[in-house]
């Protein structure tokens, strides 16, 4: 998806929130923000919003010397999600269709998106999403594909929601005969997206056949091309989050997208409403 003017406003707002989290002195915050604004004024709009966002975060890291500006916030997000794990597991285990419920639980975690907003209520969102019908629901197709699959690539998204993603992956492993799962993360911190360090204590190593992949997401690297290697290797590909949708939906790779619609640009593309949920194949 190419970048629209509204997308640049969203990236600018995310930069402002990130700099506020760093609690810089006012003069320093203004200096870094001017660098970001100059960059956005000259951004290549043929890139996706995520790719332009990579460049924005590179500026913040370079100018402040802080490698992971939202590290403490990501840790807090994981903690908040972990507090709901027992509830989420019980809901999944007691449901009539545990895999479908696990998908909805995973989607509920997508509300944790500092790139769009800094405040959310995860518990309330979990309850709301479990009651919703997806605007696009390709669940039956996903089940059919998983029943034949030996390999799965899971394109991860944000901290916090990764806790619920783990519940989904565990349910998939328990239900289907997968031999390999590629869990694809970003190498460099980008917003509240997870990197390897963010999941070091979440025990992903307990999932049989799972391999963690860390892709170089600097702006001057072809992140999508790197990702395609693991898309091509897998029988089923699940992409979490609106950012991955914006990055990949034009490419017709044959992915299942799981996310909550959070912005007017995506809403208009899909002809749906904000806060709609999707289990969508393309």
Same domain, 17 and 137: no
Question: What is the predicted pLDDT for the residue at 182?
Answer: 97
In contact, 194 and 214? CB cutoff 8 Å: no
Question: What is the predicted pLDDT for the residue at 84?
Answer: 94
Same domain, 229 and 275: yes
What CA–CA distance (Å, rounded) separates 135 from 143?
18
The CB-side HSE value for 56 (13 A sphere, CA atoms) comes to 31
Same domain, 159 and 46: no
Neighbours of 136 (CB within 10 A): 15
Antiparallel, parallel or unpaired: β 136-137 and 277-281: parallel
- In which domain, by residue range, is 37 found? 5-64
Same domain, 16 and 82: no
Same domain, 117 and 222: yes
pTM of the shown model: 0.95
Q: Which two tokens stand for residue 175?
A: 């239900």
Which domain-ending residue is among 20, 36, 64? 64
| Digitized pLDDT (tens) for each residue of the chain, 282 residues in all | 889 988 999 999 999 999 999 999 999 999 999 999 999 999 999 999 999 999 999 999 999 999 999 999 999 999 999 999 999 999 999 999 999 999 999 999 998 876 666 567 888 999 999 999 999 999 999 999 999 999 999 999 999 999 999 999 999 999 999 999 999 999 999 989 999 999 999 999 999 999 999 999 998 889 999 999 999 999 999 999 999 999 998 888 899 999 999 999 999 999 999 999 999 999
What CA–CA distance (Å, rounded) separates 128 from 81?
16
Same domain, 238 and 184: yes
Question: What is the predicted pLDDT for the residue at 181?
Answer: 97
Question: What is the predicted pLDDT for the residue at 21?
Answer: 92
Question: What is the predicted pLDDT for the residue at 115?
Answer: 61
Q: What is the DSSP string of 157-176?
A: -BTTHHHHHHHHHHHHHHHS
In contact, 150 and 179? CB cutoff 8 Å: yes
Question: What is the predicted pLDDT for the residue at 255?
Answer: 96
Same domain, 88 and 11: no
Question: What is the predicted pLDDT for the residue at 1?
Answer: 85
Number of domains, the chain: 2
Q: Which two tokens stand for residue 60?
A: 């913040």
Question: What is the predicted pLDDT for the residue at 118?
Answer: 59
Same domain, 128 and 60: no
Torsion of CA 198, 7, 241, 117, to 10 degrees: 60
Which domain-ending residue is among 64, 94, 110? 64
Q: Which two tokens stand for residue 61?
A: 């890291």
What SS3 class is residue 211?
strand
Which domain-ending residue is among 25, 41, 64? 64
């Amino acid at each position: 998806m190419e970048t629209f003017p509204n997308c640049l406003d969203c990236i600018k707002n995310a930069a402002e929130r990130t700099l506020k989290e760093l609690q810089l002195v006012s003069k320093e915050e203004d200096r870094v923000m001017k660098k970001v604004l100059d960059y956005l004024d000259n951004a290549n709009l043929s890139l996706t919003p995520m790719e332009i966002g990579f460049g924005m975060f590179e500026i913040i890291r370079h100018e402040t010397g802080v490698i992971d500006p939202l590290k403490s916030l990501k840790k807090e997000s994981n903690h908040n999600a972990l507090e709901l794990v027992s509830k989420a597991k019980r809901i999944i285990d007691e449901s009539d269709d545990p895999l479908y419920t696990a998908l909805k639980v995973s989607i509920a975690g997508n509300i944790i998106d500092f790139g769009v907003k800094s405040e959310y209520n995860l518990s309330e969102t979990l309850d709301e999403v479990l009651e919703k019908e997806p605007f696009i629901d390709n669940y039956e197709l996903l089940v059919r594909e998983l029943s034949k699959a030996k390999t799965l690539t899971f394109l991860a998204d944000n901290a916090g929601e990764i806790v619920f993603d783990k519940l989904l992956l565990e349910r998939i492993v328990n239900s289907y005969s997968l031999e390999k799962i590629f869990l694809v993360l970003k190498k460099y911190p980008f917003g509240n997206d997870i990197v390897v360090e963010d999941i070091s204590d979440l025990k992903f190593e307990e999932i049989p056949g799972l391999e963690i992949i860390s892709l170089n997401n600097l702006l001057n690297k072809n992140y999508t091309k790197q990702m395609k290697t693991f898309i091509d290797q897998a029988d089923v590909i699940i992409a979490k989050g609106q950012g991955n949708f914006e990055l990949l939906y034009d490419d017709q790779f044959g992915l299942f997208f799981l996310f909550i619609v959070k912005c007017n640009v995506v809403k208009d593309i899909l002809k749906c409403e904000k806060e709609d949920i999707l289990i969508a194949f393309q």
